[in-house]
Structure 1
Amino acid sequence: MTSVCVGRLTLNLALLLCAGVARAQLSAAFNHPDTVCLGAPVTLTNQSTGATSYSWNFCNAYTDTVGNNVPGCPDPALTVYSGATPPAFSYSIPGTYTVCLTATAGAATAQACHPIVVKRAPTIVFGTDTFFCAGQTAVLNAPVSPGIKNTWNTGSDSNQLTITVPGTYSLTSTYYGCTLSQTTTAAELANPSVQLPKDTVFCDSGVLKYTTNQPVTFIWNTGSIADTALVTTSGTYWLQLNERGCTALDSIHCKVVPTHSLTLGKDTSFCGPGRLIYHPQDSVGVTYLWNTGSDSSSTAVLSSGTYTLAYMDTGCTATASIQCTVIPKPHIPFPADTTFCDSGMLRYTTLLPVTYYWNTGATGDSLEVTASGLYKLIADNNGCADTSTIQATVAQAPVVVLPADTTFCGPGVLRYVSPLSVTYSWNTGSASAVTTVTTTGLYTLTVDNSGCTATGTSQVTVKPVPQVDLGNDTAVCLSKPFVLDAGDPGDTYLWQDGSTGQMYAVTQAGAYTVTVTDNGCSASSTIHVSAADVPYITLGGPQPICPGETIVLQANPDTAAYTYTWQDGTTGPTHAVTVPGIYTVTATDACTTYTASVDVQTGVCVVRVPNAFTPNGDGYNDVFRVLGTEVVDQFSLTIYDRWGRTVYASRDKEAGWDGGAYPTGTYVYELHFRYALTGSAYMQKGTILLAR
């Protein structure tokens, strides 16, 4: 019995005896690639068994790359081969080939057939030279197809390779037995450089031109591909340079300004210096420059000639000129007002060929003024005239009469009153009709009547007045000698009772006057003398004191007329006492002395708590202290605020609370103490007022 399978044939022989020999099982089989690359060698391995001969058909059937079954074999190079092991062969046309092996053993056959897909290898598309622009990258693309494996010399197996640095790059691609390779040299190209000038202004229109030695092409956003671009409107203009695919771009803002239409009008003339003024409709951002040097919209015209204005608007300049004639104008230099004493002359002279017209009717260059009034002159130079007015006052000239020589005892007064309404000016600075004379010298007075002046002088001798001063009124001890001294030895003296000595002894109360005369000049002085009071003072009654306490004794009255001396030699109206005893003070004045005493005795000494203190820094009652603590040997003081918080605590009986930064208010204290002599301990509570 025989069975045949396409692809692999197995022939089962029940038991065939031929010449007494048993035969092996017949089968057809071979190893083959499923897919090969076009042109790649195909190797088939025979794995048949039991065959004595073989027949290979390398193109038993063919299907093209679009799926059409093609009868016959399109590759004439393929042949039928008989033999156990076929040589390696290759396909030259892509498609699907069916390869069949027929194994024969005697009359029995077995066949195996397999398809082999032949694919055309992909193409590597990059060339041997690659370029990229500075700052950019280049991308190499490997072929992409199922079954292909790409390997770059960088170690990458990606389908793309990004190049950032120059160098040599190679790709090896394996595809179903085919090996493809390509090497390229990558070079970095320098970008062209372009730098357009700063933003600029064109008047009406302009041309942008860019000059470079670089081997580049030009592209402007105006469409120009030359090295120039025409600018007719304001806007942004850019230029792109291209060199071997590398580009550079720069832009510039251009402002196109219409040139201003400038005219200064017809030629003109001025009477004396004039001014040309140009009034444009729009002067924002405009600058001016006249040929006179003026940089404003106007210029002074000082002389005849051609005047030119350059009008610049955003860098665009328009010019215009005008011919100006300047006719010299007379100038009458009259002061605003003037005064003539009794009479005067107004005069104006000039080298110009002028005619004169006075408001009095006169036509000369001068006019005599004999009366006050407003005078007007017109000077005309060929129609170019000047007019001036002046208020002329005709005033009466004053006179000054002062005494030629005079003498004063001490300061005196010079006086002159004019019958006219004049102003006065003395060389002493006085501006009245009188001046005070304090020193010998020449005194000058100038009087002014509406600008008319007169001056007079007087030689004045000032003699010194004797200096006499008997002093302030005083009270003296009439029991003691008291002598008045008139001073200035050598002068003459006259007292109220007719005595003429320099000294005068006072024996009773009264008014005393002396007149002292020296070189014809006299001076007097008066003093009232009264009897002085006998001093009386007191220190008051006996006073108590406790141990550790200080009291201050005060002498009464306390007056500057007395000097006070205490029993220990100290002076002053007060005396501090710390221990009991008899204390004495003596008061002394100009007449006599008086003594007073006081007995300071030991008082009843107990602990006392003040109810208020004022820590305001004035030095009085600034610290809260418990009094009488010199008699205790144990002490504890705590002070609380209104909420029960401790604000002060101390076991030092000498210490005290200065109030800290706490506000004005009532505070609670708790005091514990023990008397040293009795050993009795006490606790005392109460309130104190802190007042700032």
Structure 2
Amino acid sequence: MDIVSTGDLTFRKDTLFMAAYLNSIVWIDIENPDSSSFYFNYSINDDIYGISTFFINCDSLVSFGSGFNGDIYLIDFSSQEIIDIGCSPGTAVFGLATPDEWQASDCTFRIDLDGDDSSDYLGQASTDDYWRTVCSTPVAVVDTDVVIEAGPQIDSITLRLDGADVLNGMLEYLSAQALPNVGVVGNGTGQLTLYNAGGADAQDFEWALQGVSYHNDAPLPDPGLRHIEVTMWAQAEALSRSAVAAIELLYPGPLTFSLGNDTLLCPGHTLQLSIPYDYYHQVIKGTDTLTFGTYTWQDGSTDQHFVVDAAGIYSATFSYEQAFGCTWSDTIEVAVGDTVLTQSQAILCEGQSYTIGNVQLSSDTILCITYQAVNGCDSTHCTQVVFLPVSDPTLIDTTICQGNFVQIGGVQYSQPGNYTDTLQNWNGCDSVVMLSLQVLEADTTILELSICEGETVEIGGQSFGQSGNYEVMLTNQQGCDSVVQLSLVVTQPDTTWLAQTICDGDSVEVGDQTFSTSGSYSILLTNQWGCDSTVFLQLSVIPPVVIARDTAVCEGNPVAFMGQLIEVGGTYTHTLSGQPPGCDTTYLLNLTVWPLPQLTLESTGNSCLGEQITLTATTDAMDLLWSTGETTGSIVAAQSGQYTVTVTDGHGCSASASVGVDYTGQLT
């Protein structure tokens, strides 16, 4: 398509447009201009030459055009319309521009990956960027004080790992976690998008960015800078701001160093431990020196070298304070070897010579030779060379420890006794040596000890507190071995459990304590070996047994009690000893004797005269009953016979009285 360019250019939502000849707005393909095409045509009696796009109040994107006739038009890209706004400068305008054509001056839209610029200790990043030095991943790509300021609502934030920096291929990627209103696209890839899932504000996106990490899963990551471009978008991607996170990998994988293998240090020697010098790293920035590597030894010193002169465990730590994960350490154990000293004696005749190594001796001498023992440390052997006169016998009276020897001529003596040896020198002169040799055997002391649990026995600086057989090697006053054979018995505390039952008033004695009340008691005593002996006493005291009987009877009715008949009221006791369960039993009788009720029976009337006989009973009892069945105080005897009245009081006690009535002797 042939396009005649006669007008201005403008940029809308990442797209470049041009005012073209023949009333056309053309879309420009920036990467391939030959592929540009008409976006839309308009039909007004004017040609638009000037065109400009800008924001209004940070939320409206508008474009205006100017025509040959001198009019100003609103260009609506959505409806593809050209609207005359009734404004004219009075002359043809062939180009339009504004100072802030692509960004409204009153829009707040900013992203700062490190609010206080604390990560940029070398001054290598711009104000809004983030710089992080690390030795391992994953690592955050923004600081915790990331700042986002946005007037319009944020559409999304894209993070893109610069492909030119990627040295380990797909093993390098970005990751993030979605939030309730911020979604994630592209997890595990080199380009990741945080998008507004609904209602997300600047703080939500700050939180989301803090959760984004850079990963390098290579076994030995290639060192170098990784740049991650962080772009914030708004207004349907018409508005954007960018910042860069720079991740500096210092070393390919974990850095290691060695202080050497565990070793042996000979007495009087020293060992210098060192950390490789190239691990130490400084950068000069202006007048400041920034230290990136610090040595720290186990005692807190920070030199590159540490001198060891004693046995112990030594460690060094190397770390980059300004770099994540850049800390390494190593430990070495140093032991101190023993110096061995041995002695021997050589006795020769005067005129002879004695050779030790390259040294030839002809007079009394003590010669010590130092050599390297199997542990690598010095070992010294001292030889006492004695030259005896050839004529007079030589008497040697000496004492050695068992295991040592005395050498006379070419003979070694290690057993006690008296020896005579005739030596002949090189010219045939004899010399008699008389040796009286005493050999001190190793002392052996046998100890059989018994201690209480918790006590210890100390022998030669060693403490023993467990039963068993022990052998302790010491040195006696002659400098020879002294062996102590200890047979130790640890006596456990005695524990005795007693369960006693006694009668009330009795007591139990344990040790020098007396107990007479029920309960559980713990008594600490000392047994025959002088150790603790604990007696646990469970004491039960049987209370006195009293069997009480309360009885009430009427007068004249005796009560049987413990083989007796008792008629008089009162309290009676009888104690039986040793009754089950072995304690006294007391029987108690409370006897009440009620008196019989008072009763008087009288008769009135003369039967001889033919009068009726009236019988009257006088009593203090409550109930009254005649033999006739009547219950009144007086009755009339209707016929001759025996009449009986019985009265009963409130205690159930009764009294009776009888009277005879005879009507047969009446006078007629």
- The answer to whether TM tops 0.5 is no
Structure holding more strand per residue: 2
Q: TM-score normalized by structure 2?
A: 0.28
Larger-Rg structure: 1
Q: TM-score normalized by structure 1?
A: 0.27
